[in-house]
């Protein structure tokens, strides 16, 4: 962010705006939960955060979907946008803004942006001929198609996009954005900003596949449908998906309107999250558009892999999906958030299986974490009348190693969360949880309890366990929205001191009273029964 000594850093993070062409699944949810965890983490650091998500509501796919349902496109997207916002509430998504590309402010700004490009000579009128996939909302040249169909004379009459979706031949008048003009500028920008795209390998792919072969001008309007933002000077054309969609990240902050306060404060974005299939749009067209507008580029485009099913990428159009609300209703919001942020490895795809979901729930949450809390609360009741003792009251030979583990976990966690590598950050937290469980086995409190001379040392063991759980609860806050509170409540700790920045193991407040009977925070589930469900 652009902080000074007195003002907090700003942190602006975005997700793609999702097509409301079907119910959102746990793939879309992954991106949103990841952004949410980053936003919550930065708020805990004291940053001034703006977290944006939203919906991409124009285009042929939506127009067709609404028609099928006998609705106007507007009626259709209104219903979907409402459902999606409800879903994010259910999953405790803490977004500050929700942009819809049908918002009046957005549409007006798009018309202004388009006109500016036209006036500057960045956009020209021409004719488009090529293959179009409605499902991908994307154009392809014949050589880009995965498969082509031919008639008896060998003429190509159709085919499949790399995604597997059908394409159709499109011949129409179209406006084009002169991307070619900015090719050298973009190469140079990449060179000077080697961290612009993460993972870095994606940037090399862009250079090799799209920039070096020669950047093609991009068709940016359509006349074959009307559900979109019309061009003021030529209204039979509507702005085709990418200028409309990408601009959301700035129009949502008021760019192109009378009130640019948020834009002035938060642009350029710190991190823009995208799935790997839309890296091209965000690392080639988006920086070029911004440059043409005279605006700074986002600091980082962060591309993540796909959540896959056994038959490939989970996607709305394929229908091989798992719904987040189904999982959340059955297993709780924290189980879903934990699974997504733990199971997706950085830089790769992650396979969803019901077995894996249930076993992460059982092993990590119910066993490792749940049992540590249960045992700790029960023992503090038994050995210290329910009052959290001081860490200094005694000692054992195992304290130092536990304390060192906590210190290194805190440090590594902060590094990983700062990089959005949540799976690694969570693995760190679980190192402390495992270490604390092992500490119980090493110190054997039940044996110490038989020796009155060990009374103070036993109390110190109780304090060390409470201190470990306190650190765990604080670190889990960006990811889990209910569990940290439950841990604090069971330990009788006040929630007022949950900042991450100045966290230390020995800041445990003493004298608090734990609850008399701790409830399990994550009930174990029966794997066979659940997988069948
Ligand atoms: O592409 N695994 O919208 P969309 C992980 N409107 N993430 C996934 C996923 C999966 N299986 N499936 C979807 C669009 N996603 C455009 C974006 S932005 C200016 C316009 C996530 O509804 C991932 O973030 O198809 C992906 O990029 C996004 O949802 C695509 O959502």
Predicted confidence (pLDDT) per residue in 429-472, tens digit:
999 999 999 999 999 999 999 999 999 999 999 999 999 999 99
Nearest CA to ligand 1 atom 12: 27
Pairing of strands 10-18, 350-351: unpaired
Residue closest to 55 by CA, chosen among 73, 38, 37: 73
d(CA 10, CA 3): 7
Is the pLDDT reported for residue 423 higher than 70?
A: yes
Q: Where are the alpha helices (DSSP H) in 255-371?
A: 261-266, 279-280, 286-292, 324-331, 333-343, 354-360
50 CB-near residues (< 8 Å, 6+ apart): 10, 11, 12, 13, 96, 97, 253, 262, 265, 266
DSSP for residue 299: S
Q: What is the pLDDT of residue 359?
A: 92
Q: Report the percentage of the chain scoring pLDDT > 70.
A: 98
Contacts of 191 (CB under 8 A, 6+ apart): none
Residue 157 three-state SS: strand
Q: Give per-residue pLDDT as tens, 496-524.
A: 666 787 799 999 988 889 999 988 898 88
From 20, 31, 164, mutation site for ligand 1 pocket: most ligand atoms within 8 A of C-beta: 31
Q: Cα separation of 454 and 154, whole Å?
A: 89
> What is the model's pLDDT at position 163?
87
**24 and 17 Cβ atoms separated by less than 8 Å:** no
The stretch 100-116 carries a mean pLDDT of 98
* Per-residue pLDDT at 117 exceeds 90: yes
User: Which three-class secondary structure string do you get for 180-239?
Assistant: HHHHHHHHHHHHHCCCCEECCHHHHHHHHHHHCCCCCCEECEECCCCCCCECCCCCCCEE
**H helix and E strand count, the chain:** 21, 17
- HEC letters along 346-382: CCCCEECCHHHHHHHHHHHHHHHHHHHHHHHHHHHHH
Average pLDDT over residues 336-354: 92
CA distance 15 to 266: 15
Mean pLDDT of 220-241: 93
Residue 2: band (very low, low, confident or very high) from pLDDT cuts 50, 70, 90: very low
For atom 30 of ligand 1, which residue has the closest CA?
18
Alpha carbon separation from 496 to 319, 369, 393 (Å, rounded): 44, 22, 25
Distance in Å, CA 15 to ligand 1 centroid: 9
Ligand 1, residue 281: give the atom nearest the CA. 19
Q: What is the ipTM of this complex?
A: 0.99
Ligand 1, atom nearest to 306 Cα: 2
Confidence at 139, pLDDT banded by 50, 70, 90? confident
Pocket of ligand 1 (CB under 6 A): 16-19, 27-28, 30-31, 56, 245-246, 248, 274-275, 278, 306-307, 313-315
Q: How far is CA 153 from CA 145, 382, 387, in A?
A: 19, 86, 86
Residue 240 CB neighbours (<10 A): 28
pLDDT band at 531 (very low <50, low <70, confident <90, very high): low
CB 375, CB 520: distance < 8 Å: no
């Amino acid at each position: 962010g652009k902080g000074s000594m007195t003002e907090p850093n700003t942190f602006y993070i975005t997700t793609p705006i999702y097509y409301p062409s079907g119910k959102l699944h746990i793939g879309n949810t992954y991106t949103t939960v990841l952004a949410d965890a980053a936003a919550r983490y930065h708020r805990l650091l004291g940053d001034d955060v703006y977290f944006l998500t939203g919906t991409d509501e124009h285009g042929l796919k939506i127009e067709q979907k609404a028609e099928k349902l006998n609705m106007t496109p507007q009626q259709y997207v209104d219903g979907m946008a409402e459902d999606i916002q409800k879903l994010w509430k259910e999953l405790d998504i803490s977004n500050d803004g929700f942009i819809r590309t049908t918002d009046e402010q957005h549409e007006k700004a798009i018309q202004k942006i388009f006109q500016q490009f036209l006036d500057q000579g960045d956009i020209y009128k021409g004719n488009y001929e090529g293959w179009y996939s409605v499902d991908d909302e994307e154009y392809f040249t014949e050589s880009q198609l995965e498969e082509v169909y031919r008639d008896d004379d060998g003429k190509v009459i159709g085919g499949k996009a790399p995604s597997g979706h059908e394409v159709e031949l499109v011949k129409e008048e179209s406006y084009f954005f002169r991307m070619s003009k900015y090719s050298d500028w973009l190469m140079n920008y990449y060179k000077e900003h080697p961290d612009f795209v993460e993972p870095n390998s994606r940037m090399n792919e862009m250079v090799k596949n799209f920039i070096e072969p020669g950047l093609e001008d991009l068709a940016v309007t359509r006349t074959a449908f009307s559900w979109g933002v019309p061009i003021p000077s030529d209204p039979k054309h509507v702005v085709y998906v990418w200028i409309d969609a990408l601009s959301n990240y700035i129009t949502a902050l008021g760019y192109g309107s009378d009130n640019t306060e948020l834009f002035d404060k938060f642009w350029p974005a710190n991190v823009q999250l995208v799935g790997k299939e839309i890296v091209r749009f965000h690392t080639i067209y988006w920086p070029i558009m911004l440059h043409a507008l005279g605006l700074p580029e986002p600091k980082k485009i962060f591309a993540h892999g796909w959540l896959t099913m056994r038959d490939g990428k989970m996607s709305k159009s394929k229908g091989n999906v798992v719904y987040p609300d189904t999982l959340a209703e059955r297993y709780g919001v924290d189980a879903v958030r934990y699974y997504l942020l733990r199971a997706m490895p950085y830089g790769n795809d992650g396979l969803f299986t019901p077995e894996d979901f249930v076993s992460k729930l059982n092993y990590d949450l119910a066993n490792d974490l749940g049992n540590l809390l249960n045992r700790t609360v029960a023992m503090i009741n038994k050995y210290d009348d329910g009052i959290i003792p001081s860490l200094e009251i005694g000692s054992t030979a195992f304290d130092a190693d536990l304390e060192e583990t906590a210190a290194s976990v805190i440090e590594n966690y902060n590094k990983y969360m700062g990089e959005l590598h949540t799976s690694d950050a969570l693995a760190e937290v679980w190192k402390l949880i495992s270490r604390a469980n092992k500490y119980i086995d090493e110190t054997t409190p039940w044996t110490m309890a038989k020796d009155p001379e060990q009374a103070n040392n036993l109390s110190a063991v109780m304090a060390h366990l409470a201190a470990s759980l306190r650190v765990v609860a604080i670190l889990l806050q960006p990811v889990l929205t209910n569990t940290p509170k439950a841990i604090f409540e069971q330990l009788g700790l006040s929630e007022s001191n949950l900042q991450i920045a100045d966290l230390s193991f020995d800041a445990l407040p003493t004298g608090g009273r734990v609850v008399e009977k701790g409830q399990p925070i994550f009930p174990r589930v029966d794997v066979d029964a659940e997988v069948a469900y």
